[in-house]
Structure 1
Amino acid sequence: MSSTTTPLGTRPDLDAEEAGTRRRVLDLIASDGPVSAAELAAHLDLTAAAVRRHLALLEGEGQIAVHDGRAAGSPAKRGRPAKRYVVTSDGQAALSQQYSELASQALRFLAEVGGADAVRDFAARRVQELETRHADALAEAGADLSRRAEVLAEGLSDDGFAASARPVPGGMAIQLCQGHCPVQAVAAEFPELCEAEARAFSRMLGVHVQRLATLAHGGHVCTTNIPIIPVRPSTT
C-alpha cells in the first residue's frame, strides 16, 4: 500500500461539496465496480462531464484504475468498449477510517503468546458477533436464498463493507461482493480473518459458500460464490 495516499477531502483545492461528491463516486465504484462513467452518472444524477472530472482526479491519485476485462456476463459489443473502473489498494486506504497497524501488532502478539490457535479463536469470536448482529434480519428473510443473500449484503453494507449480491449468469449462483474491507491490511497478514468470515457466511446462509477472491490478497473486491439451492434445516 502506498504511503502517499491522499485522504479524501483533505486537498486544499477541493471544497466540502466537491470532496463529498468524490467520496460518493469512490464509494459507488467500491460497491458496484467494475462500473462505467455512464453508470455512475445515472446513479448519482450527475452530468457525464462532472463524473469524468472526478474519475480523472481519482485515477490521477491512484485511487481507482481501469478494469482490464468485461463485466461478468456482459455481451460483447462492437466498437471501443466503455472504460470500467475499480478501486485500487490506495483507494481502499482512503476509504478506511481504521488504523490497521495497531490491530496487526495486537494479533502478532496474540500469535506469539498463544500460537496459531489463539488467532483462529479470535477470528471465530469476531464473526460470532457478525452472525448475532444479522440473525434477526436473516430469519425474517425466510428460506429464499436469493433474498437471504440480499439481506446479508445490505447488513454488511451497514457494517461498512460496501457489499452487493449479484446473480451469476445462468441463475445457478449469486456472488456476494464486498467492495471495501475495514481490516484489509490486517487480513493480508492474518488470512484467518477471511477464512472465519467465509465459514460464518456458510452458517448464516445455510449453504456451503466458496471464496473466489479477497481484497486482502489482490482482488478488486472480496467475492463469495453462493450456490442457489434450498436452505437446509438445522439438525442441531
Structure 2
Amino acid sequence: MPATAAEVLLDGHRATRDRVARSILDHGPSSAADLASRLGLTAAAVRRHLDSLAAAGLVESREQRVYGSRGRGRPAKVFALTESGRDAFYQAYDQLAADALRWISESVGGGPAGEEAVAAFARARFAKQGQRYQGSLEQVAAEQRAEALAEALSADGYAATVRRVPSAAAAKAPAGAQLCQHHCPVAHIAEQFPQLCEAETEVFSQLLGTHVQRLATIAHGDGVCTTYVPASGAAPSPAAVREPGAVPTAGTSPNESARPRGGTSHD
C-alpha cells in the first residue's frame, strides 16, 4: 500500500527526531544551537524535536556547566539523553553483550574465576583499542597526550574532552587534567561488569604513561565518565581534584573499589 502524505511527513519527522537524539548520544549534552549547527537544521525545528523527545521521556534539559568565572546572564540550557533515551539505542545490543559476558563467567565456574575471566576479556578488548590510539599519542609531547587521547576517543563515539586542573598544592605547579567522556557505548554493560571500566582505566594509564584515577562513571550513575590525569611527575591526589570547581560532575566517587564487582544481572 502506498504511504499517504501524512504518513510520509510523520516518518520524516521521526527520522529527523532520531537524528537529533543520535547527535546527543554521540556528542554528549548539547544546546539547541549546537544541534542546529551540527545537523543543518533551524533552531526552531530542533526545539520542536527536543520538545517531542522530552515529552517521550528520552531527553532532559539542564543548565550548562561553566568552569571558572561565570559571565552575566543565565547559563545556557543543554539537552542530555535520559536512561530511557540511552536504552532506546542500546537495549538489544546490551542484552546480547551481557549474555556473552555472563556465559564467559559461568563457563569457568563463576565466582572469582568467572570475574577474572571477564576481566581478562575486558583487558584484551581495551588493549586492542589502545593499540589503535598508540600511534597518535606517540606523535605529541607528553603534556598533550590527554588531548590526543580525547580526540581518538571522540572518533570512536565517546565524545571526550579535556579540562586542565591547577594543582592544589602550589599555584605554580603544572596542571593535571580531567579526561571527560560524555558518552559511553558500554555503560549499561559496565553496570553489571565493572571490569570493563577497570580495564579501560588501565589502558589509559599505559597510554598516558602515568597512574590515572577514575573519579566518576556513567555506569554508576554519574553524568560523565571522568578520569584525573596528574601532571608529569605529580602523584594523583583526590584532594587536588576536589577543590571548588575542579570536578565537573555531581555525585562523583573516587572510591571505585568499594563498589561490588559484576557478574550478576541487575535486571
Match of 2:154 among 153, 157, 160: 157
Aligned position for 1:64: 59
State the number of aligned residues: 215
1:29 maps to 2:32:
no
Does the CA contact (< 8 Å) of 1:214 and 1:220 recur in 2? yes
Structure 1 residues 133, 80: closer, same or farther in 2, change over 3 A? closer
* Counterpart secondary structure, 1:175: strand
* Counterpart secondary structure, 2:11: coil
Q: CA deviation at 1:196?
A: 0.6
Q: Distance in 2 between matches of 1:41 and 1:58?
A: 15
Does the CA contact (< 8 Å) of 1:98 and 1:182 recur in 2? no
Aligned position for 1:205: 208
Match of 1:90 among 84, 89, 94: 84
Aligned position for 1:187: 190
TM-score normalised to structure 1 length: 0.76
Aligned position for 1:5: none
Could you say what the CA RMSD is over the residues aligned between the two structures, in angstroms? 3.0
Larger radius of gyration: 2
Percent identity over the alignment is 45
Does the CA contact (< 8 Å) of 2:61 and 2:77 recur in 1? yes
1:121 maps to 2:120:
yes
| Mean Cα deviation higher: 111-120 or 26-35 | 26-35
Q: How does 1:129-148 map to 2 (within 5 A)?
A: 129-140=128-139, 142-146=140-144, 148=145
Listed as ranges, the gaps of 5+ residues in structure 2 are 1-7, 167-173, 235-267
One-letter amino acid of the structure 1 residue matched with residue 125 of structure 2: R
Q: Distance in 1 between matches of 2:58 and 2:68?
A: 25
Q: Distance in 1 between matches of 2:231 and 2:19?
A: 32
Q: CA deviation at 1:187?
A: 0.9
Structure 1 residues 132, 82: closer, same or farther in 2, change over 3 A? closer
Q: CA deviation at 1:102?
A: 2.0
Structure 1 residues 113, 215: closer, same or farther in 2, change over 3 A? same
Structure 1 residues 76, 63: closer, same or farther in 2, change over 3 A? same
Indicate the structure whose relative CO is greater, using CA pairs within 8 Å and at least 6 residues apart: 1
Does the CA contact (< 8 Å) of 2:165 and 2:178 recur in 1? no
Q: Distance in 2 between matches of 1:210 and 1:31?
A: 24
